[in-house]
Amino acid sequence: MNCFCGLNKDFDMCCGAIISGQKVALTAEELMRSRYSAYVQGDGKYLVFSAVQENRYEEDIALIEEFSNSVNWLKLDVIKITEDSVEFKAYYRDTNGIQVLHEKSTFIKEDGMWKYADGELYNTKIERNESYPCGSGKKFKKCCS
């Protein structure tokens, strides 16, 4: 099975290995991609664990899992990568249709491991001429909208 993060790799050799603890994320991008895959799987424990210590709240696990399991994750587009940040768009379908989460995530090394520190959300919508996230290759205005 290809990885949810969009890389043409087997899930177990890509994000699955990071989520399971068999491998450590070597870059901020690897951690961000693994976090997206964890959202797709509804893995709230990993998402809380992969955040910096000061932002880890056990009570968030159930909320994350509830949200993650209430939507259908469609696609991840990585827009810009620096050493400690990743800007991305994550597309999902909820009861209101196709949505996009556009964020610039910031990461820091904590105890020698990359951790999610925080994110800046952008108010972004899917544009009419944008490629539709369902994978059809059609433009948004000509596809499932």
Tens of pLDDT, residues 33-44: 999 999 999 999
Which position has the token pair 């964890």?
Answer: 38
pLDDT at 126: 78
Tens-digit pLDDT profile for residues 84-126: 999 999 999 999 999 999 999 999 999 999 999 999 999 988 7
Query: What are 118's two structure tokens?
Result: 């925080």
How many Å is the maximal CA-CA distance in the chain? 48
What are the two backbone dihedrals, phi and then psi, of residue 39, each rounded to the nearest 5 degrees? -65, -45
Question: Among candidates 135, 128, 15, 127, which has minimal Cα distance to 74?
Answer: 135
Return the number of other C-beta atoms located less than 10 Å from residue 101's C-beta. 18
Q: 3-class SS at 125? A: coil
Displacement of CA 103 from its chain's centroid (Å): 10
Average pLDDT over residues 25-33: 98
Q: 3-class SS at 106? A: strand
Residue 51 confidence class, pLDDT cut points 50, 70, 90: very high
Tell me: pLDDT of 32 over 90: yes
pLDDT at 31: 98
Residue ranges of the domains in the chain? 11-142
For domain 11-142, give the CATH number: 3.10.450.50
What are the two backbone dihedrals, phi and then psi, of residue 28, each rounded to the nearest 5 degrees? -60, -40
Tell me: pLDDT of 136 over 60: no
Question: Among candidates 84, 78, 80, which has minimal Cα distance to 109?
Answer: 84
pTM of the model: 0.89
Question: Among candidates 118, 122, 121, which has minimal Cα distance to 50?
Answer: 118
Tell me: pLDDT of 135 over 90: no
**Mean of all residue pLDDT scores within the chain:** 91
Distance CA 89, CA 127 (A): 13
